[in-house]
Structure formats: C-alpha cells, structure tokens
Chain A
C-alpha cells in the first residue's frame, strides 16, 4: 500500500515551453502533497506544499508564477513548470501523506520526474 506515482518519469523540452508533471496517490487519499526538487548530488529541496482545494504554500525563493501547482482532488496534484529554461533542469519529486489512518505520519514519495530543458 501507500503508492505514489508520477507522470512522466522523464521529459525533455525546449526552452520556453511549459511542462506539466502529475503526482497521484494510488491507494490512499492525501489532503496534502509536497513537491521537491533535487539537483545532482544535493539534498532534496522543498518547493511547495500542495493543499487539496486551496492554494499551494510556496517556500521562500520559489516563484509561484513559474511553478504552478494545482491540487484538484484528494489523489492528484500537478506541477507545471512554465516557460522552462535550462536552469530548471532537475529531478522533481512529489510526496504524499495519507489523510488518516496507518502511515499518516509518513511521507511516501513518487518515483520522480527528470526534467531536461534544452
């Protein structure tokens, strides 16, 4: 149980285009999902906290107009990287905690999406 999926697993795009990444909790509901970014050989960096039915909470230094987050249901959050540039190339990982019950203290991670912007 507690499986989180991401789609796509990798994407290559041209500079200036937008890319949407989906994060789904497959067998549980998640009121809150988290989006992280990880550059090579660096720690995970929290970008934003996605709340179902309300606006996301962004970490300091993360541009909310560039990284659009939508959490339309209890099992789906999307991250859209708008007008992507090469410096946005990174590994994007989402995580989710079950809303209640067993495992609600734990974040379960998706497999990640590797974004390369040419």
Chain B
C-alpha cells in the first residue's frame, strides 16, 4: 500500500531551527509537497520538490532524496506564528496526492 510517515508532534523554541521529516512509500513518484495548516483553516502551499536536493524559500527549506523516499522541511528563526500542522504529500504515478497525517509543531517562547 501507499504510506506517508511523519512525526505526530514536535516542540521547538522561538528563534531556533526545526526539521520535520517525511518518509514515503508510494506507487510511483511525481513530486512531493509541503503544506502548512493552522488550526481550523485550509492548508497553504509551502514547497514542491520533484528533483533531489534542497529548495530554499526564505526561512523555509525543503529537501528531497528520491532514492531514500525521504524529505524534510527545515524551518529557521522560528516565530510563534509558525505553530501549525505541517503536511507532507506525495503525488503518485496516477497524479493523485497521498497525504501524511501531519506534524503538529508547537513553538514555545
């Protein structure tokens, strides 16, 4: 079957750096997405990786290794507003998005 694994919850300190990992086993691969979702709101797009390597966008970076079925989202200079759930999603060979359950990130002062 298809599976996306990410930690259920993480805690970090304001101003610090946190890395959220995502491992996947899917039928084919056509890209990996990271979304941010605040409680009670719809997800917002953060990043898209289809080739191996690091994509940097401001305080957020996303890394992909297709051979390892692995990605991470790196958040730098954490702010209180970064407290949210972070969803990893992989597009399979049928171009369907397979979603992880999300990682709840708690930022402490």
Contacts and interface: CB of A to CB of B under 8 A. Distances in A.
B41 A107 contact: no
A91 to B, nearest CB: 8
A58 to B, nearest CB: 13
B101 interface: yes
Nearest to A6: B42
Interface stretch (B19-27, B43-51, B58-66, B76-84): B43-51
A42 B97 contact: no
A108 B31 CA distance: 15
A44 B86 CA distance: 12
A45 B45 CA distance: 17
B33 A106 contact: yes
Interface of B: 31, 33, 35, 40-45, 48, 50, 87, 96-97, 99-102
Interface of A: 34, 42-46, 91, 93, 105-112, 114
